[in-house]
Structure 1
Amino acid sequence: MLNNIPIGALFGALVFLVILSAFFSGSETGLISLNRYRLRHMAKSGHPGAVRASRLLKRPDRLIGLILLGNNFVNILASALATIVAIRLVGEAGPLVATAVLTVVILLFAEVTPKTVAALHPERIAFPASFILGPLLKAFYPLVWLINIIANGLLRLLGVSTRDVDSSHLSSEELRTVVNEAGTMIPRRHQKMLLNILDLEKATVEDIMIPRNEIAGIDLEDEWTDIVDQLTNSQHTRLPVYRGGIDNVVGIVHLRDLLALQQHSELDMERFMDRIREVYFIPEATRLNTQLLNFQKQRHRMGLVVDEYGDIQGLVTLDDILEEIVGEFTTDPGTTLKEIHPQEDGTYLVDGSANVRELNRIMNWSLPTEGAKTLNGMLIEYLETIPEPGTSVLLNDYPLEVVQTGASAIKTVRVDPLYRKRRHKGIE
């Protein structure tokens, strides 16, 4: 019967089958190459092609079954037609010629080219293809279902489940990679803020707290005139109140509560004590992301950090956590800027008491933040001794030179951030 069909018609059928094969191959690569998170966003926005593609990808086993069924059918049929054409043209050598020629044709025009295009532009291929594959899946569903039953049975024997294929979630590190690779789609400053939010779970309140020896507060054992003067000139809106020392903390006072009394000259010790609020204590091991939520739930903006024995170690505020996300946004005179002294040669003299995380945030450095919290502690922990002046170390490509030491601590360190830039540019 096929021998009676004109050669031209057979060639036309072969071209059509190669086009079908290219369609199935490109559709498979395009649909599998789609960015699933972008696809979800587009589907939620009502994009028709995204909705159809998302529906197909909910059961990839059925989708692949349909595509492979169609692709193998057209390839085998094309092979049969090519063999008939070759036999009629070249005789007994026809099957060999047909196999060689069809292999090259299918490889170039039905595999490599459409799959490459689909991998480079998955949405342009997948969305239109889903318009055809959806009805095809319904039309051939019984056959696809039977193939899937057999294939899924084999997969179960190998310990592979086809269920919950869409339940995978990004880890924080994977999300970090997504943000970093967003490029110009997300402004650099916004990328940094997003990455800083992810970093909150890596740091604790101990990493950013104001040490206890730097806490500014009201000592009830001072003269009343001294307390009023401190309240009047305070740079902070909230101050701890204690007797003799921070370990005997009484509470927290908000200067806003005292403003009206002070304006009407009605502020005295009795009224001052009435305005003292309860102290909010925070365990030093609390993660920053957790504490941010705790501040919101407890409706506090400041708390005292305590260790496992209940001893006060420092103070942390909501602003301190927010600065970990958005960067420095306060003109508080207590900021680490006063501990940094720029030099004419591009280096910086930094006080050993400077907090390493604040240095990184303010100066955009990348000093190691694991372990000790201060520059002094970081160097002593690394060297395992109090070094002599002139000692130099290289940490994270930052040369750190000990300039001045005391009996029990490093007082001043010289940091050369330009060395890191020169090294990264390959002009060291």
Structure 2
Amino acid sequence: MSFQHKSDKKKVVYDAKGSPHIPEGTALKITLYGNIPPGAWLKLTTHKSCHLQNDTFAVVKVHSDTTGKMGVVKLTLPALYRGYEMKVYFCMGPTADQLTLQGEHVTGEVVPWLTINIIRSKVPDWVFWILIAFLLILSGLFSGLNLGVLSLDRMDLKIMINTGTPRERDHAKKIRPVRSHGNLLLCSLVFSNVLVNSTLTLLMDNLTDGFTAVIGSTFAIVIVGEIIPQAVCSRHGLMVAGYTMAVTKLFMIITFPLAFPLSKLLDQFLSEEIGAGFTRERLKELVKAVKDEHLLEKEEMVFIISALDLKQKTVKQIMRRIPDVFTLPIETILDFNTMLKIENQGYSRIPIYDGELTNVIALLNVKQLIMVDYKDEMRLRDLVDVEYFKDNLFCVFENTRLDFMFRKFREGNRGHMAFVDRVNDEGPGDPFYERIGVVTMEDVLEELLQQDIMDESDVGTYSARPFSRF
């Protein structure tokens, strides 16, 4: 008789004589070849005798084919109680009581290839299962960090450090130094994930057959190592990365010889990592999206968007043209009618022109009229220092941005009214400066607030600027 075995565990080693050495507890499927009597029985014994009952640990019925040339038995090798190795022999016969030792030589020895050497397992199976569970956790960690941490760029972490909760700030401070080396972190996480998954498959293959190892490891890696951790880290990536940063740094050290050269190649060919930048248009859309989530009031959204627009708008868009501005000629007599007209207008500053409306030469501050008696009929020219104002008028060009005007008005050293000039190059003559309008601090603030600022001196119906354009 001869036999072949198929083990569910790939731990079998053959010695020089062809005798298999199989770990204890292994499930075997043994195929027997030779003259197999119908209904035959097989017994494994530790002695070269088939009649010692206390040395028998397996008596099984052989399932033979119709030709009687092949039979199959399934059994599990016992655990060793003493020692590190035990040799067993085959006994077979037509009944369980009529058994013959197989492979016995005339010298009393048994051919090696008809014996099995049971050896003690160096590592218990439960240790392998614990290692598999631990590797699955690491696989899920690296897969989740690959999504959760790399989705946080340096700008996100900086914002969290400055505005997050105390716990978020602590996590962001731990992550930021590692996240600044983006390609190195990416390579380390990928290498670590592949290393863990490969080791996991090998351990599964050590415990089961190849097909089961492939199916089991694939299912475990996809569910436990990919889908679940990525779903968790997509929502709580900062927290997971903060608590496991020590593990990440450890594996960055382990994979450094492989990850570092590859990361340098990525740095060379892909240049430095580009963070998620925000243009003004993107910031405005972000504010609108936040408002849609009811995190901002409409007025707050308008203020923010208007502040972002200040840099893109010019005084030409909000100025009042000279013909629409209340002005006084330099030769005006400050009599009762003129003083009444000034009072009814309600302005605190009045442009003074000489000749044409566009030839503004001074700016009258209404406070200067407090001590003026209309009965004296004083000339405006005598009250206003034309030479002083002519050189000190606050003038800007029509393309001046509103953020610059807001900053200048806020400083206050040039007053809160500016005259808008433009270069007139129309006609056959030389180009010249033309005064076309006036812009005030109130105009800039109304553009920022997107509402008209009304006071008790304003005449007419209040008409706030609509928010609908946002």
TM-score, normalized by length of structure 1? Answer: 0.69
**Separation (CA, whole Å) in 1 of partners of 2:357 and 2:304:** 36
- Determine the structure 2 residue equivalent to 1:112: 227
**Separation (CA, whole Å) in 2 of partners of 1:18 and 1:257:** 84
- Determine the structure 2 residue equivalent to 1:394: none
Q: Which has the larger radius of gyration?
A: 2
Cα pair distance change 1:266/1:190, threshold 3 Å: farther
Q: Does 1:320 align with 2:443?
A: yes
Q: Does 1:364 align with 2:467?
A: yes
Shift of 1:274: 3.2
Shift of 1:366: 3.6
Find the residue that maps to 1:236 and give its secondary structure: coil
Which residue of 223, 229, 234 corresponds with 2:345? 234
Is this contact kept in 2: 1:29–1:119, CA < 8 A?
A: yes
Q: Does 1:9 align with 2:127?
A: yes
Letter in 1 for 2:342: L
- Determine the structure 1 residue equivalent to 2:299: 189
Is this contact kept in 2: 1:284–1:305, CA < 8 A?
A: yes
- Determine the structure 2 residue equivalent to 1:331: 454
- Determine the structure 2 residue equivalent to 1:153: 265
- Determine the structure 1 residue equivalent to 2:243: 128
Is this contact kept in 2: 1:58–1:166, CA < 8 A?
A: no
Q: Does 1:213 align with 2:323?
A: yes
- Determine the structure 2 residue equivalent to 1:53: 175
Cα pair distance change 1:291/1:124, threshold 3 Å: same
Which residue of 18, 21, 44 corresponds with 2:136? 18
- Determine the structure 1 residue equivalent to 2:354: 243
**Separation (CA, whole Å) in 2 of partners of 1:35 and 1:188:** 30
Aligned length: 332
Shift of 1:41: 3.0
Q: Determine which structure has the larger helix proportion and give its number.
A: 1
CA offsets per residue over residues 290-346 of structure 1, 9 Å max, x none?
A: 332343466331112222222222211111111111232522699897597xxxxxx
**Separation (CA, whole Å) in 1 of partners of 2:212 and 2:347:** 88
Gaps of 5+ in 1: 87-93, 341-360, 368-428
Which residue of 193, 196, 199 corresponds with 1:74? 196
Cα pair distance change 1:96/1:136, threshold 3 Å: closer
Q: Determine which structure has the larger strand proportion and give its number.
A: 2
CA offsets per residue over residues 102-124 of structure 1, 9 Å max, x none?
A: 11110011101100111122223
Is this contact kept in 1: 2:171–2:242, CA < 8 A?
A: yes
Which residue of 259, 279, 282 corresponds with 1:171? 279
Is this contact kept in 2: 1:18–1:78, CA < 8 A?
A: yes
Cα pair distance change 1:258/1:205, threshold 3 Å: same
**Separation (CA, whole Å) in 2 of partners of 1:26 and 1:168:** 20
Is this contact kept in 2: 1:25–1:110, CA < 8 A?
A: yes
Letter in 1 for 2:262: I
- Write out aligned runs for 1:401-420 (5 A): none
**Separation (CA, whole Å) in 2 of partners of 1:318 and 1:35:** 40
- Determine the structure 1 residue equivalent to 2:82: none
Find the residue that maps to 2:352 and give its secondary structure: strand
- Determine the structure 2 residue equivalent to 1:91: none
Which residue of 419, 426, 437 corresponds with 1:304? 419
**Separation (CA, whole Å) in 2 of partners of 1:265 and 1:37:** 69
Letter in 2 for 1:227: T
**Separation (CA, whole Å) in 2 of partners of 1:255 and 1:267:** 16
Cα pair distance change 1:96/1:60, threshold 3 Å: same
- More off after superposition, 58-67 vs 36-45: 36-45
- Determine the structure 1 residue equivalent to 2:396: 282
**Separation (CA, whole Å) in 2 of partners of 1:308 and 1:336:** 34
Shift of 1:146: 4.5
CA offsets per residue over residues 242-275 of structure 1, 9 Å max, x none?
A: 134322212111223433x248999943652138
Percentage identity across paired residues of the two chains? 20
**Separation (CA, whole Å) in 2 of partners of 1:118 and 1:268:** 80
**Separation (CA, whole Å) in 2 of partners of 1:311 and 1:236:** 24
Cα pair distance change 1:266/1:328, threshold 3 Å: farther
- Determine the structure 2 residue equivalent to 1:103: 218
Find the residue that maps to 2:453 and give its secondary structure: coil
**Separation (CA, whole Å) in 2 of partners of 1:49 and 1:326:** 38
Letter in 2 for 1:59: H
Shift of 1:151: 4.0
**Separation (CA, whole Å) in 2 of partners of 1:365 and 1:19:** 52
- Determine the structure 2 residue equivalent to 1:390: none
Gaps of 5+ in 2: 1-9, 12-22, 24-120, 425-432
**Separation (CA, whole Å) in 2 of partners of 1:85 and 1:267:** 112
Shift of 1:75: 0.6
**Separation (CA, whole Å) in 1 of partners of 2:225 and 2:449:** 51
Cα pair distance change 1:62/1:97, threshold 3 Å: same
Letter in 2 for 1:314: G
Find the residue that maps to 1:33 and give its secondary structure: coil
